[in-house]
A = this chain, B = another copy of it.
Amino acid sequence: MSREPPQSTDEQPSEPRRDGAGFHTAFRPNFELREVRRGQRPGSRYVRVMKVNPKGFRPVAPGVLEATPEAHAPRGNVGRRMAAVRRVLVGQPLATAAQAHERLTKVKALAVFSSDALSSVAYATEEILLVLVVAGTGVLSGVLPISLAIVFLLAVVMISYRQTIHAYPNGGGSYIVAKDNLGIVPGLVAGGALMIDYVLTVAVSISSGVAAITSAAQSLHPYALELALAALLFMVVVNLRGVRESGTIFAAPTYVFIASVMLLIIVGVVRVVLGGLSGHNLLSSAPPEQVVHATQSIGIFLVLRAFASGCTAMTGVEAISNGVPAFKPPESDNAAKTLTTMAITLGIMFLGIGVLSHHFGLVPNNNETILSQLGHRVFIGGALYYILQASTFLILVLAANTSFADFPRLSSIMARDNFLPHQFTFRGDRLAFTNGIIVLAMLAAVLLVVFNASTDRLIPLYAVGVFVAFTLSQSGMVRHWWRLRGHNWRRSMTINTTGAILSGIVAIIIAATKFLLGAWVVVLLVPCLVGLFYGIYCHYRGVAEQLQVPEIPKPLPEQRIGTVIVPIAGINRAVIRTLAYARALSEDVTAVHVTDDLSGAEALRGEWERWNNGVPLLILETPYRSFLSPFLTYIDALDARSPGSLVTVVLPEAVSAHWWQNLLHNQTALRLKLALLSRPNTVVTDVPYHLR
């Protein structure tokens, strides 16, 4: 920021400054401009210039005033009350300048960006086994090669994304990388696919977290949907409080979960190694004779489907590359290190669980998750088991938070590029992208309500979008290296080519093996979203073209105010004030009274003539009791008489002291304003008259 530091912070804001550096300077150019105008227009009145520092502002540069916190104080009873509620829920507003401080350490970033990816070890192995068990318990050992394949894929994707993080230090989500290198449509496909997955992540992780609670406390089962919506609301509030606070809240459960699973694996492996020697209490319930049939032929389709199911472990891996700017400087290095840490942690946990499940020959069942079965066997039901289960539940709910960190960021970037409504770029009181957070929550709430907070039907829609985005992002990186051909470009390009090809194959595998189970929804939805993004873009571009002016615009045209119309319902103080204003505007003022009561109108005309105020009165009789239509038709007639010239409608508006009192008044003024807004060449002026 290039501006001077504020100089008058401690002064009385309403006192005039005499040092020449502050507000005086700020207004001098204006003063000069007006002096020039005075010269240009002989006979015009002398224009007063503001010579004192306006209250609530601080001069920061010539012609620039900075609003102080007092200038942002809420107004009115309702405003103050709403602001108070916001303060309690969301916290004190933060200045934009605080943005640089609102950054994440690596420790917090791992919690914010990785809960989605890490939480998936709670179900990914189970998803693989669920597919394999269809072919009989004998093929369950397939879990080992499949897990190894997924960990290999994870390593490739991680290395690819490390490159992206360094190449795009301002946040290199799939959308940006694909758009920059492959063009708009691939970028939009990646953006749309990711958005779908972010919404699904919220719905799936919240409902699976709630399912964990309701399984524990059966009496809560009828309230599953309400609990899910309450959890969603909690996420919204926490995220509206801002990035740093959500990091603080979410750090503990994530690390407890990592620690519990790591301990599970270490203790498990140690016990197996020791128990392999003494081995009595561990392998007693695992029937090893089933494992030997692992080589029997099972359909390739089933293997692929099992693999596709396991790939849900990789949703959320790209979150870090999207969120590089949220890291403390040096952003890229910190993000790359966090990504590596996360991938290694995820890989170890996933592989460990896979190996132990295989070793114990675990079979998925409806009453107990694989992770819980493992916990029982390894921790033998001790306190550690309960810590594992509790932190699993917490991280499942918190996994939604990754989406809350990424969806608003992605939508703000796409809005900045005119592919989404500009409102998504707005940062709220706490610098979070308020609208993105709220829209994500609303979409997830719709999913929760429609699917009644049940994960079963949501899971198959999952993961397609992520791998489409991976593929496009890494293809983009390939193009990126090819164009730059900098240091080591061949190596970088090879890495990303491998990543792109593998991700592409996986995306096809997932879409094909889960198409009928629900992936078709995503396959259909992505093109629709791309069309929507493109339509929004075309609208914004059209508006910009229509409003565009040359580099240095022509001098302001001379404008005549022209015809002024004052619709009146009678003679009262509000009308008198409005007529006085209208007469100051123009010589050509007509008062128009629209009525269905001719005798009343004649009485009004009598009064008007006795008053003799110099403004002609026109009475429009409406036989159909519609006041708007005849008035608009009359303006049409004026328009037809002198096309292109302006008509100014000056409305007397009595404003009640309390909003609910407006319910007692006819909303004609409001409806008239709405109708006139859609008329060309019609200016609407509201002259309020405030009632006590």
Contacts and interface: CB of A to CB of B under 8 A. Distances in A.
Interface in A424-450: 426-429
A97 interface: yes
Contact of A572 (B427, B549, B561): B549
A661 interface: yes
A54 interface: yes
B686 A56 contact: no
A72 interface: yes
Interface stretch (A57-65, A291-299, A497-505): A57-65
A584 interface: yes
Contacts of A601: 64
B580 A559 contact: yes
A543 interface: yes
Contacts of A1: 598-599
Contact of A96 (B52, B623, B655): B623
Contacts of A76: 678
Contacts of A73: 629
9 A-B pairs with the lowest CB-CB distances in the bound complex, closest first: A54-B637, A30-B616, A547-B572, A67-B630, A71-B633, A95-B623, A559-B580, A56-B633, A685-B685
Contacts of A685: 648, 683-686
Given A64-B619, A75-B632, A548 B561 contact: no
A421 interface: yes
Contacts of A421: 663-664
Given A618-B30, A618-B63, A54 B556 contact: no
A540 interface: yes
Contacts of A279: none
Contact of A677 (B50, B426, B636, B686): B686
A540 B664 contact: yes
A654 B682 CA distance: 13
A487 interface: no
Q: Which residue, A542, A618, A636, has most C-beta atoms of chain B within 10 A?
A: A618
A93 interface: yes
Q: Which residue, A74, A423, A620, has most C-beta atoms of chain B within 10 A?
A: A620
Nearest to A632: B75
A610 B556 contact: no
Interface in A606-654: 607, 609-611, 613-626, 629-630, 632-634, 636-638, 640-642, 646, 648, 653-654
Contact of A654 (B36, B547, B687): B547
Q: Which residue, A580, A688, A691, has most C-beta atoms of chain B within 10 A?
A: A688
A69 B686 CA distance: 29
Contacts of A687: 683
A368 interface: no
A539 interface: yes
A37 B561 CA distance: 18
A536 interface: yes
Nearest to A37: B614
Contacts of A552: 607, 610-611
Interface in A20-59: 29-30, 33-34, 36-37, 40-41, 44-45, 47-48, 50, 52, 54-57
A588 interface: yes
A692 interface: yes
Contacts of A596: 96
Contacts of A539: 661, 664
A96 B684 contact: no
Interface string A543-577: 10011110011011111110000000001111011
A26 to B, nearest CB: 8
A483 interface: no
21 contacts: A2-B598, A2-B602, A14-B640, A29-B609, A29-B616, A34-B616, A55-B633, A55-B636, A57-B634, A61-B598, A63-B616, A71-B622, A71-B633, A549-B572, A557-B580, A581-B683, A673-B686, A677-B688, A683-B685, A683-B686, A683-B688
A613 B37 CA distance: 9
A666 interface: yes
Contacts of A618: 30, 63, 65
B55 A640 contact: yes
A585 interface: yes
A65 B614 contact: no
A17 interface: no
A690 interface: yes
Contact of A629 (B37, B71, B630, B654): B71
B625 A37 contact: no
Contacts of A605: 63
A128 B15 CA distance: 84
Interface string A580-591: 110111011010
A653 to B, nearest CB: 7
A665 interface: yes
Contact of A67 (B426, B609, B614, B623): B623
Nearest to A684: B686
A583 B44 CA distance: 12
